[in-house]
Amino acid sequence: MIVMTPEAGEAEIAAVRKRLETTGVHVLVLPGELTTAIGAIGDPEGVRELGLEGMAGVDRVVPISRPYKLASSELAHHEPTVFEVAGRVVGGEQTFCLIAGPCTVESREQTLDVARTVAAAGASMLRGGAFKPRTSPFAFKGLGVAGLEILAEARAQTGLPVVTEFLDTNHADAIAQHADVVQIGARNMQNYALLEVAGRMRKPVLLKRGLSSSLDELLMAADYILKEGNERVMLCERGIRTFETATRFTLDLSAVPWLKLHTHLPVIVDPSHASGDRRLVEPLARAAAAVGADGIIVEVHEDPDEALCDGPQALYARDFAGFADRVTAHAALAGRRLSQTSRAP
């Protein structure tokens, strides 16, 4: 939409129309009481390149179409995206993914213990970080490749597919070898080189929303993965920065139904990082189910007091089965059953 200044006359309007027509867009002149607006329907890139802002009589150019393309539910013929991770369905209206595990792989024993606990409680996938993005460079950054190997062992023992964070393109081979789902952390949502490499890995990607990113920006980040030909992307709302400091971040629950309207991609909620407080994790997990999320990702630890990272938000492993049952009951109210493999383990 090109908004003309109140002073713009016929000649200026005609000049804008003529320039627009060189790109083949459909032009619609909309005279108003104070100003005239000119609608251009067609390729926004072509219009952007015309430099209309510099023309006489033009006040501003306002893009009306959505800035994200491949992630948009407006994309012609696009049904909601549904895919499987080792037999667990992600997306669609029928299933609810319960992704659980430690924040960080700290040791073989700790990871295998938690993996067994969450598997026994019916979890869909195991989460765990081997490469950790830490706010301080002096904090524990994970076990690296040794951590990935522990996750692979946990998968072999429990049958659960592994979700793990990819934070450096140098780790691409190791991540591609061990991850079933490649997690892009909040801090890397706009690391475009990383998104492109993740897109080329041909593995499902869990893309977390940046700490201060808008939903438009999240969907444009998803476009970076989708444009590499990788359709298997799930978005994750994990809380955003607001003026409120009582919780670690503010869980934007409205993001879930908004995303359901504007994108075909599945949406997962992370109540652990959003709240930073295990006492809030279950109510927020239930709320996520109620508001239409395709699943949740939560942190669990056998002994959270001793956790090397994010202990205060980790659910006690001994409480996890009850937690899973109650959240599953809420998901059932939303018409979803737990996403589990139909194949024999």
Alpha helical stretches, state H, the chain: 10-21, 44-48, 108-120, 145-158, 172-178, 192-200, 215-226, 255-262, 271-275, 278-290, 320-333
Q: What number of chain residues touch Mn ion (CB under 5 A)?
A: 2
Question: Rounded CA gap, 296 and 6, in Å?
Answer: 51
Binds ligand PEP (CB under 6 A): choice among 171, 178, 208, 260: 208
Check if the beta carbon of residue 93 is closer than 8 Å to that of residue 50.
no
Is 186 near ligand PEP (CB under 6 A)? Answer: yes
98, interface contact from ligand PEP, Mn ion, none, CB < 5-8 Å by kind: none
Task: Give SS3 for 32.
Answer: coil
103 scored as a contact of Mn ion (CB under 5 A): yes
Note whether 238 binds ligand PEP by CB under 6 A: yes
Distance separating alpha carbons of residues 207 and 183, to the nearest angstrom: 6
User: Is the separation of the CB atoms in 215 and 189 below 8 Å?
Assistant: no
- Smallest gap, in angstroms, from Cβ of residue 102 to Mn ion? 8
Check residue 185 for interaction with ligand PEP (CB under 6 A).
yes
For residues 249 and 340, give the distance between their C-alpha atoms in angstroms, rounded to a whole number. Answer: 30
CB of 77 to ligand PEP, least distance (A): 32
Cβ neighbours of 272 (radius 10 Å): 29
Pick the stretch among 95-103, 134-142, 165-173, 244-252 that binds Mn ion (CB under 5 A): 95-103
Q: How far is the CB of 115 from ligand PEP (least distance, A)?
A: 16
- Closer CB to ligand PEP, residue 103 or residue 289? 103
- Cβ 238 to ligand PEP, closest distance in Å? 4
> Which are the contacts of 249, defined by CB distance < 8 A and separation ≥ 6?
211, 238, 239, 240, 241, 242, 273, 274, 275, 276
The distance of closest approach from Cβ of residue 282 to ligand PEP in the complex, given in angstroms and rounded to an integer, is 18
What is the layout of strands, in order, in the sheet containing 2-4? Answer: 26-31, 36-41, 2-4, 58-61
User: Residue 220 and residue 228: Cα distance in Å, rounded?
Assistant: 13
Binding to ligand PEP by residue 101, rule CB under 6 A?
Answer: no
Identify which of residues 139 and 146 has a Cβ nearer to Mn ion in the complex.
Answer: 139
Pick the stretch among 30-38, 96-104, 109-117, 185-193 that binds Mn ion (CB under 5 A): 96-104
Q: Least distance (Å) from Mn ion to the CB of residue 172? A: 22
Size of site (CB under 6 A) for ligand PEP: 10
Binding residues for ligand PEP, rule: CB under 6 A, are 103, 129, 133, 185-187, 208, 238, 270, 273
